[in-house]
Structure 1
């Protein structure tokens, strides 16, 4: 086969362009910091990197769900802590009023404080978190507890307007956790009277009535009920605390998982800067050498002298 000047010229230009493309690709890697910038660079690596990015994004959302769930649980536990304080203070007043030696004026003063404790318990039961009521079940936008003034109303002195639905947060693939406690169960069914239950609001109202116009015996009859109510709320607080601790451990484990995923993805797609710079300098030398060689190969031909 005869080698012509045109063939030499095409080969030289093709090789120079290929060397220039290699330099451009390496320069793009240095500027982006990524070994792969498009699927054509390495389809297998790109597919794996995309899978890692999908997992990392999903875990970021799970982390946000966990943080929101923990915030809800902590707000609920804090509110029940205040409810416990209210009941313990009311029990102290009941102990004062049950000794039978206090004058009516002092009993009445104790009753007025219990009235304030009843209002405080209402405020605690209607606690909101992020604009949502935490003890109303799925009815998070409507006030769950309503004070009733009609003594003939069966719900007197407080009515529950929420429901018993659970609020479930997804904290992992296929894993959910209920972040709320039923307000009806917490406050309206706090005392077990055998065949019926009694609310903490009725208990406080009964204590107030006993202090304002009842007897020391009537006041003393509420002490056992206060013990039941306090134990009832403490048990629910323990459940909330356990769930909150679980969220902390889950978030810590997820952080470790995210670090591992990020490191593995970095090994796949990130460049070794020192190695890449060295490769670039090598490619640059090859490119310059190809230009120099091309200049020697593409010498003037006989045609140049026949002009």
Structure 2
């Protein structure tokens, strides 16, 4: 079989190009740390990597949501804690006012102190987060949960908001004002039957200014304290749940990242070995090509 000089040249160049391509691929893999540079190298592995990475992104979003919910619940917890302290101060003043030694002017003074505490409590109930959202207004977070008027009604849409914190699991990021400070009753209920703390305080101060405080107001205050305490317990339980779910999510992410690494990360020891072999093969092809180029009868004439 006769082999032309041009064919020999073509074969030699092709061999060098193939070896150079393999060497370049290995260099790129070592630079990127990836086992495969293109999906075509291993379509099944590429599909698995897409699937696992998508799952990881979903769980990372759950973790981000947990951070958001935790921040909001911790702020609510602090607000309720401050609110409980204010209501306790109001209750102490109410007890003081029931003393028969306190009459007229004294009770007027106590009413003024309680009204100042009510303003403080109202400010707590209308606490805003760093984004300017009212934390007790639910979805209607651009409007305050309560107003200065005893008959102020919560904004429309004041329902609890929730975020996904895990697979098929959501968590409310706060409570609406009525579930913490009581439902506003526009029918002017009597002392002892008032569920909203602000209406209860208004009734108490009105009675004090009339020099006729009612023991039933203590019932309203105690009910308000219980309602706020129960809300705080609920917040604490949710915070604990977030901690548990966060740990579960983190375990999932770590496990899936390990799988992704096993599928798609480069084995550097193997890559270095391949690189050395490919480098030797390239040099051999180059040397062979040089020798073949010199195989001509004109060199011996």
Residues 103-128 of structure 1: CA deviation (Å, up to 9, x unaligned)? 54332222111011111121111112
User: Do the aligned residues in 2 keep the contact of 1:125 with 1:145 (CA within 8 Å)?
Assistant: yes
Question: Residue 23 of structure 1: CA displacement?
Answer: 0.5
Gaps of 5+ in 1: 149-155
Superposition pairs for residues 190-269 of structure 1, below 5 Å? 197-215=194-212, 218-269=213-264
Change (3 A) 1:94 1:78: same
Q: Which moved more, 1:182-191 or 1:14-23?
A: 182-191
Whether contact under 8 Å (1:170, 1:177) holds in the other structure is yes
Shift in Å, 1:77:
2.0
SS at the partner of 1:251? helix
SS at match of 1:291: helix
Q: Note the C-alpha offset of 1:38.
A: 1.7
Structure 1 position 158, deviation (Å) = 4.2
Q: In 2, are the aligned partners of 1:136 and 1:162 still within 8 Å (CA)? A: no
Task: Name the counterpart of 1:282.
Answer: 277
Check whether the contact 2:49–2:260 (CA below 8 A) recurs between aligned residues: yes
| Structure 2 residue matching 1:133: 3-state secondary structure | coil
Offset at residue 166 of structure 1 (A): 2.6
TM-score under structure 1 normalisation? 0.86
CA-to-partner distance for each residue in 1:112-156, whole Å, 9 max, x for gaps? Answer: 1101111112111111222111222321112231222xxxxxxx3
- Aligned 8 A contact 1:76 1:134 in 2: yes
Relative to its length, the structure with more strand (as a share) is 1
Unmatched tracts of structure 2, length 5 or more: none
Structure 1 runs (4+) deviating above 6 angstroms are 190-196, 303-306
- Cα displacement string for residues 210-250 of structure 1 (whole angstroms, at most 9, x for unaligned residues): 333323xx243311221111111111111111112111221
Map 1:1-307 to 2 at 5 A.
Answer: 1-129=1-129, 130-148=131-149, 156=150, 158-189=152-183, 197-215=194-212, 218-302=213-297
